[in-house]
């Protein structure tokens, strides 16, 4: 299987802190940033990714989780999700 972001082969030794579709947490964030800007990726900066890449172990996991939480919090505050949360399903008929 290959990484959805970098297309490298995913091995048992990969730093996969996220999902089996990515070889590392860095690839997951890059994919999210580049391919899904309207679903929170626009809140991920290159600086965030570079800083995460410098870390290792538990500190890296904690920072990755912090980035995820930051993105998800801001994504839920976005206009798109505000409309989803406040729309009336009856209007779709």
Ordered by start, the domain boundaries in the chain are 25-86
- The CA distance from 86 to 89, in Å, is 9
CA atoms within 13 A on the CB side of 77: 7
Check residue 72 and give its pLDDT: 83
The answer to whether residues 16 and 7 touch, using CB atoms and an 8 Å cutoff, is no
What confidence tens digit (pLDDT) does each residue in 36-88 have? 887 788 889 999 999 999 999 999 999 999 998 988 887 776 666 556 556 65
The answer to whether residues 59 and 52 touch, using CB atoms and an 8 Å cutoff, is no
CA atoms within 13 A on the CB side of 26: 15
- pTM of full prediction above 0.75: no
């Amino acid at each position: 299987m290959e990484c959805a972001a970098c297309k490298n082969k995913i091995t048992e030794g990969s730093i996969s802190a996220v999902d089996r579709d990515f070889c590392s947490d860095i690839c997951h964030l890059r994919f999210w940033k580049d391919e899904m800007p309207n679903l929170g990726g626009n809140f991920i900066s290159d600086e965030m990714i570079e800083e995460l890449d410098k870390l290792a172990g538990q500190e890296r996991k904690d920072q990755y989780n912090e980035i995820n939480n930051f993105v998800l919090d801001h994504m839920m505050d976005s206009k798109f999700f505000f409309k989803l949360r406040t729309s009336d399903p009856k209007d779709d008929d």
